[in-house]
Amino acid sequence: MALAAIYSLFIINKSGGLIYYKDYGSAGRMDTNDSLRLASLWHSMHAISQQLSPTPGCTGIDLLQAHNFDLHCFQSLTGTKFFVVCETGAPNMEMLLKVIYELYTDFVLKNPFYEMEMPIRCELFDLNLAQVIQKDRVALLGR
Amino acid sequence: MQFFGGGSLTSVAPEVTPSPAAPPGTGTGANAQVLYVFNRNGVCLLYREWHRPLHTLDPTQDHKLMFGLLFSLRSFTSKIDPTTAEKGNLGVPLLPGQGCSFYSFKTNTYKLNFMESPSGIKLILITHPRTGDQRDSLKHIYNLYVEYVVKNPLYAPGTPIK
């Protein structure tokens, strides 16, 4: 099948709770509890990494490189974190995260029925996100 | 691949308490800022700093925090790994080879390079964020460790390296 450049996307609110999780082709099934736990774990580790910085002004982990995957994280000024698990060496992930952030502000925050810090259940957000991911995939395959 | 121009592990050094930071700019290719070596049980065998302007916590707390962070990160990466179907549970401590492990992470102010040997010895090198892949440097340091520390008949495993 098509090469999944992105394996999954997580969005965490400023207290560390998972508000959005989308899986695009990971090998193992991850149930809701696991994804919640992983999100909070990431939130705490992001905070701890700021404490261990040798120079002042650290804003947390941007990129985690492992043997089988990469993890790119983007933290907005309000503390909401967006992170994607992708293939090792996948290009332009930071760009993608910024685009997702824009979609979040347009379709989630501007939605009058959306409560802050709650799980995201906005159709338009899902739709547009799927479009962006699809376009990204096509761009990568087209190369 | 630049090796750091810092003290080697064999130099006569004070104990594990942080040695005074070398002024920046000394030594060619001095890209490394801090080095930690931990064993399986979390004992910090070696700590060296060359350039560390900010100390948030006292040394023992700092070592514990570092070890704890790495322990949880390994657990996290092995669970979130999208390429293996079966994953253990989050709370279970992992053996050195088990599960996918990370080799580096980057923040805006530093880059942390990590390597774990099959015997559970963890090497951590903190460098400038734009440094390249340091896996070979870490292997080199590990070889030095094996050569001079492990093979030293007077060295008791599990104690800080002197």
Contacts of B75 in chain A (CB under 8 A): 41
ipTM of predicted assembly, 2 dp:
0.87
pLDDT at B10: 39
Percent of chain A with pLDDT over 70: 94
Task: State yes or no: pLDDT of A143 exceeds 50.
Answer: no
Contacts of B98 in chain A (CB under 8 A): none
Structure confidence at residue A135 as a pLDDT band (50, 70, 90): confident
**Contact assignment for B107 to A66 by CB distance below 8 Å:** no
pLDDT in tens, B91-118: 777 777 777 889 999 999 999 999 998 8
Q: CATH number of A6-142: 3.10.350.10, 3.30.450.70, 3.40.50.300, 3.40.50.10320?
A: 3.30.450.70
At B101, list the tokens. Answer: 């492990």
pLDDT in tens, B34-52: 899 898 888 888 888 888 8
Q: Give the single-character DSSP code of B119.
A: T
pLDDT in tens, A69-114: 999 999 999 999 999 999 888 888 899 999 999 999 999 999 999 9
Question: How many angstroms away from the CA of B150 is the closest CA of chain A?
Answer: 28
3-state SS string over B30-89? CCEEEEEEECCCCCEEEEEECCCCCCCCCHHHHHHHHHHHHHHHHHHHHHHCCCCCCCCC
Q: Nearest-CA neighbor of B141 among B118, B155, B121?
A: B121
**Contact assignment for B107 to A25 by CB distance below 8 Å:** no
**Contact assignment for B108 to A7 by CB distance below 8 Å:** no
HSE-up of residue A52 (Cα within 13 Å, Cβ side):
33
Contacts of B76 in chain A (CB under 8 A): 38, 41-42, 45
Contacts of B49 in chain A (CB under 8 A): 54
Is B76's Cβ below 8 Å from some Cβ in A? yes
Question: What is the pTM assigned to this prediction?
Answer: 0.81
At B150, list the tokens. Answer: 């492990």
- Among B84, B102, B107, beta carbon nearest to A65: B102
d(CA B116, CA B135): 10
User: B45 to each of A129, B16, B21, B101, how far by Cα in Å?
Assistant: 48, 7, 18, 21
Is A89's Cβ below 8 Å from some Cβ in B? no
**Contact assignment for A59 to B107 by CB distance below 8 Å:** yes
What spatial distance separates the first Cα and last Cα of chain B, rounded to whole Å?
28
pLDDT in tens, A35-50: 999 999 999 999 999 9
Q: Give the single-character DSSP code of B9.
A: T
d(CA B29, CA B6): 9
Topology adopted by domain B32-80+96-150: Beta-Lactamase (3.30.450)
Asked if B149 and B161 touch (Cβ cutoff 8 Å), the reply is yes
Q: Quote the crossing angle between the two packed helices A93-103 and A123-142, to the nearest 10°.
A: 160
At A106, list the tokens. Answer: 């347009």
In the sheet that holds A70-75, the strands lie side by side as: A18-23, A6-12, A81-86, A70-75, A61-66, B102-107, B111-116, B122-127, B32-38, B44-49
| A25 or A45, which is more confident | A45
For residue A113, with 0-12 CB atoms within 10 Å meaning exposed, 13-18 middle and 19 or more buried, which class applies? exposed
